[in-house]
Amino acid sequence: MTAAEAEFDYIIIGAGSAGSVVANRLSADPQLRVLVLEAGPDERVIHSRAPGAFVGLFGTDRTFPYVSDPEPAAAGRRIHVPQGRMPGGGSAINGMIYVRGDARDYDDWSAAGCTGWSYDEVLPYFRRSEQNVRLADSFHGVDGPLGVTDVPHRHAVSTGFVRAAQQAGLAYNHDFNGASQLGVGFFQVTQRDGERESTAAAFLRPALRARQNLALELNADVERIAVADGRANGVFWRRGGTLRGATARRGVILSAGAIGSPRLLLLSGIGPAAQLAEWGIPVVHDLAGVGRNYQDHLQIPNYYATRGPISLLGQDKGLNAVRHLAQWALFRTGLLTSNVGEAGAFADTDGDGRADIQLHAFPVMVPDHERAPPPGHGITISPCDLRPKSRGQVMLRGADPRLPMRIIANALGDEADVASLVRGLRLARRIARAPALAAMVERELLLPADDPGDTVLADYVRSYCKTVYHPVGTCRMGIDAGAVVDPGLAVRGIAGLHVVDASIMPAIPSGNTNAPTIMIAEKAADLLTGKAPPPRAPQRVAA
């Protein structure tokens, strides 16, 4: 089946972390004809398949080079938020960390009026996706399409970090998605047999090979959703300079991400009437919340020079690169199976019994998009503010679909977020000075060895904070007037139109956002088809 057939039951815009999952689940019904439109090219390239090679995708046509306006509270810097632009989306370019967040994140969604989204109600959808190679209990599934495994490679710095964090007072945790998120340990990752397991690899490609009722159109730049008499009934996109269109009998599913989904709603005349009028876009439905509630995780890199050449510096160059590539190509082992951020921790620094800081440990000095890291061999320990209070907005720059979106992230706009990162920075410095890492570290860089005080640390946070690439919330789910979709993920006021991706999150989960996005897509498929949810897991231990 091809897009040229022009009429489908469902049209899915975006083949990313959510769209690939929805496409698989809907096309399981042979009576449903499903079209998936993806803006990017084929994802099956070595920089995506080899886990440790993903940094080579940044700056290519397989990413959207999203960047914010200058951020006043972040020293006037622009925050870069590149996102995946190929089948698999973020799951084809990310660090593969499989983290769901804290159980109370979803209970908070439910308490705010999102009926059906409590932790006990979403846990079965997490489990349904998962094929975990080590864990099989009330928290984990073993029969799903998505490979989840312990990170195959463990750098000496990662092991040193896990030991040092315990010496600094954090408990060891073998499963951040189990009974408690708190503690330090090695991450589980979305990989299978030494290769990245994107949602394209796990869900979309197998369905395309096995089914005749599913079509994928690559390099499809969607320009607008067709709406007639208050109902979404089709999509128009451009490919190779030619405008194309298709009809959706049952509905359109928007899965273009936290920046792409509000963009297409606005271009289609669905959004704040004043913004649409500014660009001469006819108002199809005045929906004030579109593009608002932007949230992202920010981290602050803390750099340390190592005592010897033990970091990853230079491992992607010359004979080193050839050796690592050969080992991966022949055996699917070695450094290229690493996700770089192999170890991490979740810490409660504000004393409420719930993690507010996530620490990422990297055996290399990590660059920013506009600034190189310090030279030489070193490591980076990056605390991340898990539940930021700052809220931003994404907006159109004009009616031309080719224009990039305007992102006003409002990064660190709430001083509470600065305070959180200062606490995280203090914890990172304490861990770096614990014996297991002190043996590897020669000196701290950029910050003085002695305690400089909160004011200096806060200035450092504003000057060096960077994104963890987790934008969410811009098509918020809820029951109030500011919500864009209802708890069934239907766009308020437009029939036949659903949003299924990270943009519907009312509040950002306490951790990496890929696993929660996959869960959203799993649940959305049941909502769309009217299927009963999967059975709940056996009684879980309270988090």
Q: How many CB atoms lie within 10 A of CB 370?
A: 11
User: How many whole angstroms separate alpha carbon 465 and alpha carbon 292?
Assistant: 22
User: How many whole angstroms separate alpha carbon 16 and alpha carbon 85?
Assistant: 8
Catalytic site includes residue 470: yes
Q: How many CB atoms lie within 10 A of CB 101?
A: 27
User: How many whole angstroms separate alpha carbon 142 and alpha carbon 37?
Assistant: 30
Only one residue has tokens 């994802």, namely 43
The closest of 255, 294, 196 to 505, measured between CA atoms, is: 294
φ, ψ for residue 402, nearest 5 deg = -80, -15
The closest of 76, 189, 152, 149 to 327, measured between CA atoms, is: 152
Residue type (1 letter), 88: G
User: How many whole angstroms separate alpha carbon 266 and alpha carbon 314?
Assistant: 45
Residue type (1 letter), 352: D
List Cβ neighbours of 167 (8 Å cut-off, separation of 6 or more).
Answer: 434, 435, 436
Catalytic residue among 153, 285, 324, 470: 470
List Cβ neighbours of 203 (8 Å cut-off, separation of 6 or more).
Answer: 20, 21, 23, 24, 25, 145, 146
User: How many whole angstroms separate alpha carbon 132 and alpha carbon 177?
Assistant: 12
φ, ψ for residue 70, nearest 5 deg = -55, 135
Buried b / exposed e over 222-232, threshold 16 CB at 10 Å, is bbbbbbeeeeb
Q: Compute and round to an integer the Cα radius of gyration of the chain.
A: 22
Mapped onto helix, strand or coil, the DSSP state of residue 133 is: coil
Q: Quick one: DSSP state of residue 204?
A: I
Packing angle of the helix pair 119-129, 103-111 (nearest 10 deg): 130
H-type alpha helices, 86-152: 103-111, 119-129
The residues annotated with a catalytic role in the active site are 470
